[in-house]
């Protein structure tokens, strides 16, 4: 670690991105029945299966994004910036491959799959905004009242 070049510093301790991604995955369990139910209502079994597959793609995408940031952040901040940019391109390619791999399967309907990919990505991110902290004292998720009190007692 070099103090002369701040880009060569690295992330120490728990990774906020992974904490947020795991929280998104946990919260997605609440919306899984909704997506599958809407897929079934509009497109029967292929719609339900497409919605479930689409949500799985979204969750893997969030997890991979966090893993890339966590892994590269432990090397250096410059590596993390590169991992974020190139990781985005890699993850877009993986999403495309996941769709192209099954696009002609009997159990896939492209409309509910596409809608799930778009709505789940945006919906889960906006839902998670309510739980993300904007404080350097608590990077990642907002602390629970008990966690905040413990931190205050340690600092004060």
Burial of 13: CB neighbours in 10 Å, binned 0-12, 13-18, 19+: exposed
Q: Lowest-confidence range among 22-26, 33-37, 120-124, 134-138?
A: 134-138
Identify the residue with better confidence: 71 or 144.
71
Task: Note the pTM of the prediction, 2 decimals.
Answer: 0.85
d(CA 92, CA 117): 12
- Domain ranges (residues) in the chain: 15-155
Distance, in Å, from the CA atom of 115 to the CA atom of 113, rounded to the nearest integer, reads 6
CB distance 17 to 72 below 8 Å: no
Reported as a single tens digit per residue, the pLDDT across 36-79 is 999 999 999 999 999 999 999 999 999 999 999 999 999 998 99
Helix crossing, 110-128 with 16-73: angle to 10°? 100
Q: Which pLDDT score, from 0 to 100, does residue 146 have?
A: 64
pLDDT at res. 31:
96
Is 38:51 a contact under the CB 8 Å cutoff? Answer: yes
């Amino acid at each position: 670690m070099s103090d002369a070049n701040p880009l060569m510093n690295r992330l120490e301790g728990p990774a906020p991105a992974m904490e947020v991604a795991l929280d998104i995955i946990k919260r997605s369990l609440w919306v899984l029945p909704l997506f599958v139910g809407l897929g079934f209502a509009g497109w029967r079994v292929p719609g339900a299966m497409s919605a479930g597959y689409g949500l799985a793609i979204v969750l893997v995408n969030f997890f991979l994004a966090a893993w890339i940031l966590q892994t590269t952040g432990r090397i250096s901040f410059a590596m993390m910036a590169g991992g974020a940019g190139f990781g985005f391109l890699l993850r877009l390619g993986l999403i495309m491959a996941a769709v192209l791999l099954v696009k002609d399967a009997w159990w896939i309907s492209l409309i509910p799959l596409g809608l799930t990919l778009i709505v789940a990505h945006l919906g889960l991110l906006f839902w998670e905004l309510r739980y993300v902290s904007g404080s350097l004292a608590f990077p990642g998720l907002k602390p629970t009242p008990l966690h905040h009190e413990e931190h205050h007692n340690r600092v004060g």
